[in-house]
């Protein structure tokens, strides 16, 4: 998060900015010999009413409309009366009905304005929390999904007592270390995510040996960028899961990542079986989490900054993802 974002998210700064804005409005509308002091004095009188309303009335009565408006009006009337009384005492002026009406109008303006900002900010915060909760749930779903698939592979090799099992377990250890301890942030260095993909494909190479051609390329300056963790792995894992057996040649998986300005283009292709030509089947894993999960995360994190296309042609299924980072 940049310093500017930190300042914008700081509630104290937000409140000071709003009160400064309101001070400028008063400064341009109040008619007095000393506009600055008068405007400051009015704000000091408005502050208690606004914060009592925002901190106590709104949180407890926002769902009870009639009670809220009743307390809202009582709050305005009480603080208006007290404020006008203080003004008459401090300025040593006689009470005038016009003074009460004017300050009542200013109080309503301040209370409505502050209540609207409070409701909008609470709504935004609530939506952000819901979004973060959904992202955490999706990530929690993703890690077991990957683990179950890999453990199935290890089980198959253990049954035949393959000598590839020790290397596979070391690779799996590296993969789990990354997925468990280094993916807690919303964004991680793209370089680490790529290393994770490379380890995964190395694991698959050991498992598949000479049965499949596995190609991998990367180009451009990828070290300075960040990406949502465990995002690209879904497509690669899906490619190996639905890897088809061809009659005349080896099966193949091809993965490429390249930089293009502020964007990266990720492409993953794999051969498929004849019975897997239904694209809906290709996008589903046994648990139904795989690509569905990735699409949800893309919609949440990169709502208007991504383009995902899938295609099947000549028994090859391809996924192309363009991310604006």
pLDDT range class, residue 7, cuts 50, 70, 90? confident
Partner residues linked to 188 by β-bridges:
227
Tell me which residue has tokens 């694209």. 279
pLDDT range class, residue 214, cuts 50, 70, 90? very high
Q: How many CB atoms lie within 10 A of CB 36?
A: 12
So what's the pLDDT on residue 93?
75
Of the candidates 241, 240, 232, 203, the residue with the CA atom closest to the CA atom of residue 293: 232
pLDDT digits (tens, 9 = 90+) for 13-59: 888 888 898 888 888 887 777 888 888 888 888 898 888 888 887 87
What distance in Å separates the CA atoms of residue 282 and residue 273, rounded to the nearest whole number? 10
Locate 110 and state its tokens. Answer: 């301040």
Q: Check pLDDT > 90 for residue 206.
A: no
pLDDT digits (tens, 9 = 90+) for 270-280: 998 776 555 55
Q: Check pLDDT > 50 for residue 285.
A: no
Sign of CA dihedral 315, 316, 319, 320: negative
Average pLDDT over residues 179-189: 82
Q: To the nearest whole number, what is the mean pLDDT of the chain?
A: 82
- Does this model's pTM top 0.75? My answer is no
pLDDT range class, residue 163, cuts 50, 70, 90? confident
pLDDT digits (tens, 9 = 90+) for 231-263: 898 899 888 888 887 777 888 999 999 999 889
């Amino acid at each position: 998060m940049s310093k500017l974002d930190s300042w914008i998210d700081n509630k104290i700064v937000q409140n000071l900015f709003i009160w400064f804005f309101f001070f400028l409005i008063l400064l341009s509308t109040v008619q007095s010999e000393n506009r600055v002091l008068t405007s400051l004095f009015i704000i000091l009188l408005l502050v208690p009413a606004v914060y009592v309303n925002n901190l106590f009335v709104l949180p407890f009565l926002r769902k009870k409309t009639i009670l809220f408006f009743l307390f809202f009006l009582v709050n305005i009337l009480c603080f208006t009366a007290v404020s006008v009384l203080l003004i008459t005492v401090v300025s040593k002026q006689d009470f005038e009905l016009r003074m009460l009406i004017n300050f009542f109008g200013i109080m309503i303006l301040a209370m409505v304005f502050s209540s609207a900002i409070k409701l909008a900010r609470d709504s935004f915060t609530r939506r952000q929390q819901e979004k973060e909760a959904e992202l955490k749930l999706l990530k929690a779903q993703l890690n077991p999904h990957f683990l179950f698939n890999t453990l199935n592979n290890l089980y198959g090799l253990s049954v035949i007592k393959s000598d590839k099992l020790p290397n596979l377990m070391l690779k799996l250890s590296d993969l789990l270390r990354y997925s468990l301890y280094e993916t807690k942030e919303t964004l991680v260095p793209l370089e680490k995510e790529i290393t994770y993909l490379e380890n995964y494909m190395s694991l698959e190479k050991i498992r598949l040996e000479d049965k499949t051609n596995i190609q991998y390329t990367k180009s451009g300056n990828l070290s300075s960028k960040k990406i949502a963790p465990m995002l690209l792995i879904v497509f690669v894992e899906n490619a190996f899961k639905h890897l088809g057996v061809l009659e005349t040649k080896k099966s193949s998986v091809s993965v490429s990542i390249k930089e293009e300005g502020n964007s990266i283009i990720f492409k993953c292709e794999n051969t498929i079986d004849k019975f897997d030509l239904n694209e809906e089947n290709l996008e589903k894993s046994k648990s139904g989490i795989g690509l569905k999960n990735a699409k949800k995360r893309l919609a949440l994190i990169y709502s208007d900054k991504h383009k995902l296309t899938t295609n099947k042609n000549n028994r090859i299924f391809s996924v192309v993802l363009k991310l604006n980072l």
